[in-house]
Structure 1
Amino acid sequence: MRFSLFVTALLPAALACNHANLAQHEARNDSAPPFKYTEGTDGPADPATRGYFVNHVGLVVSNITASREWYSTVLGMRHIFTMDLSDQYSIMYMGHAQGGRNGTGFQTGAELARDKNNLGGLVEFIEYKKSSRKYAPGPSNTLSHMGLIVDDLLAAQARFDSLNVETVKRAGDLDFSAETGNPIFASAWGFDSRFLSSIGGLTTDWELDFTSEEEQAAIQAVLPALGIMGFKELIVIADPDGNLFEVQSLVPTLI
């Protein structure tokens, strides 16, 4: 699918992000927009989720050095740390200083690294140099996962089980082998593990043609919803649309 068509398809979702304008639009009884704005009316959250918050988003990138320069120069993010696990595989964290709005509460890299699991809005970058996947400007499948911090990892896992949450990886598991490894987990962390997934009823494949009728139908089905609106110890869960959350404990449990 051409980039221009993709932008056109997602335009209602982009406009819906400006919720204040949508509310004013409905209050004036203007002609109905092609989407509906609904104010949230949820009650208090389950007390079991106290302490939960989104910590970071992980991106698979083709050049971690270029990513660091862009996020630093363009967004003002700070380099927290880089871990070169081998000569081919690296993980890097960046984020804004957390003493207030960016620039109002300077923190050193060491301070940010120390407080990593108690911060929000971080970005994790994953580079696997041997990967055949390379990315160009435009829509691309670069999202690896989102990060969730919980007070008690094993209690959270038990709660996810009780709610029948789709669990991609359980605490204590770590298997990238070809015979028994988890292809969804492997692909989300940048390895060349081609797979078909139907989590949430949405077919996903790294090599699917976005111009296919099947993929176009999947995109159209998602548009209304869009418009409204340690590795071993961690847990990976999937939301109804197949988006992955890496779940970590605020204090590592050293499973």
Structure 2
Amino acid sequence: MHLQTLLPFLLSLLAIHTTACNPTRRSTNTNTNTNTTTPNPFKIGTDGPAPPQTLGYALNHMGLITNNLTAMKTFYGSILGMRTLFDVTLTPEYTVTYMGYAQGGRNGTGFQTGTEMTTSKNNMYGLLEIVEFSVSDDRVVASTERTNTFSHVGLVVPDVVEAQAYLEGAGVQILKGVGVPITEFEGAVPNALGVGGFAGVHLEAKRRLVEAQGLIGWENFLLVRDPDGNLVEIQQQDI
């Protein structure tokens, strides 16, 4: 292939891989009849150094309350590949479980046993703490059912299309597939994003959001539901 024909092809590939959930350039329509500019929605942070007292601070884990610990461990462990660090049965009714990916690299590139991961727990990132009170009279309601302060769990994967096929084969509920835009103002995904029916009507504001979703590559995200109804957002690592 000659360079003259190869260059446009390479540039088109580069454009595809630099749009999703990354700061975008301002785009200007240079048509002689119109001159409109689409502002870049990303505002890069300009924070200075953190307070010296916070040296060494890190986001170690997030916690979920579950209605079914066994189902959640199967989903995040057997299906999504997290490993169990430990289960702590504080009482016959109350259990705390820690799960996470091996930290030697991306999952599978640096296997660690549960003992090894537990030993280094407080030096790890992105862990999931799942808590169950098995005799509770309350059923915990996930944000896909009722908007609350929790939105979603976020994962990155090497290939999001392959991930969708794998999860579909495993029987995971797909809320939004790869390449599918969000068009609804009601239901699980809008609820978890804080723009569902509980947010009120506000149709114009919601329409603007639907129109703007391409600016951060939302169509390329995979959205699934865990056994408790929590939204799990899955993005591809290289876009």
Superposition TM-score, scaled by structure 1 size: 0.46
